[in-house]
Structure 1
């Protein structure tokens, strides 16, 4: 993969987060988090959590203890999970394969051989039924290759997992591994791009997208709005 293609992946990732994640985070998650009715407040915990976090139980502190877990945890993880397939499509725009059942084809820098790759987002993003489907696709490609006298080995058919660590792979991926390689995270990106640190470069680029909208102000405004409602209800 050349430098132009690497840069394209970085730009694709940033575009995905701008279009699919950031605006929804602001207009959806933060807006909902600024309204008290969105919370199922435990009366035994909300002041305790505010004191634990800030050392006082003023309305702003209560609001901060409620808002931060919501906008930095559950809501963004749910939103990202729902858009995982869009991430795959966005990252590899322009790099698709014409082979049925294969997402991308590339030359692996570790062995110089062409790989036929099915892409998956994370270490827990396939289910039991996906195992058979993936293996059948790979078997079909190898059978077609033999028919056309092409040298395609078992190790040339791979599942590429975009993010995560080896130790996090689910049992479903491990079943696939009995037949074909599963390459995850940093190792996958190195094999694809030839850059050992590309995975972390990609993570940094995505993180920078939040700076474009000064998200810290959005969060503070959310806390302030909720604090006013808390003050009215609990004064």
Structure 2
């Protein structure tokens, strides 16, 4: 089976349990108080949201957006490891901070996989460089090792070396781990497998949750006239149990 066919088959088999089902499960166990505690109340006030249904919907969408990024990022990482395992015998690394290891053309590749190119601050990038250095020491002085920050989507202005690693994005990354220059296009089509059915199921669950949360929110965080009690929200979100004294 070619890398392209293998990738398509994996996506069709795993997109439902690894993304859609986990996305729905995270929605079903969500609690309103947890969402209110995690999101920035000042931001939503600044957006001039005045009704309970609108605020609850905005809170849910903000939470779900970050949740989906995490779930789908994990799916793409597992897809990349699977493809590389099929093509080059790659495997998930046991070394800290390294997601994938494989050998190709007498070279050992160590890869830190990220969803997109704009993933971290200077401290996080510094930590990745330290992880690459540690992995090189483990491999030994005789090994020819190339470290790669692989990004599943996006573009890099130049795939030239950065400190002690290469940053490869989108097409360059998928080509590296599969040997197929067009794989980055081929994996997009099977991602839609059963998507409409799964999304209908998700939208129904979202509607039920929105109704339930709006009722809860109106009872606990609104004035008798229905206006949002922003002070109560901020107090629950940011109030200290006891004031810190310098």
Whether TM-score is above 0.5 comes out as yes
Contact 2:152-2:174 at 8 Å conserved across structures: no
Q: Residues of 1 paired with 2:131 and 2:22: CA distance?
A: 29
Report how far residue 9 of structure 1 moved.
Answer: 1.5
Q: Residue 223 of structure 1: which of 195, 210, 225 is its match? A: 210
Q: Give the aligned partner of residue 133 of structure 2.
A: 132
Secondary structure of the residue that 2:111 maps to in structure 1? strand
Q: Give the aligned partner of residue 97 of structure 1.
A: 89
Q: What is the number of equivalent residue pairs in this alignment?
A: 199
Superposed, 1:1-235 pairs within 5 Å as 4-28=2-26, 30-33=27-30, 35-38=31-34, 39-40=36-37, 46=44, 49=47, 51=49, 57-73=50-66, 75-79=67-71, 86-97=78-89, 103-105=101-103, 116-122=108-114, 123=117, 124=119, 127-136=128-137, 137=139, 140-142=142-144, 157=146, 159=148, 161-164=150-153, 165-167=155-157, 174-177=162-165, 181-190=166-175, 192-196=178-182, 198-206=183-191, 208=193, 210-214=195-199, 215-233=202-220, 234=222, 235=226
Higher helix share: 1
Alignment CA distance shift 1:119-1:78 (3 Å):
same
Q: Which runs of 5+ in 2 are unaligned?
A: 94-99, 120-124, 227-246
Q: Which runs of 5+ in 1 are unaligned?
A: 52-56, 107-112, 143-153
Q: Which shifted more, 220-229 or 198-207? A: 198-207
Contact 1:105-1:117 at 8 Å conserved across structures: yes
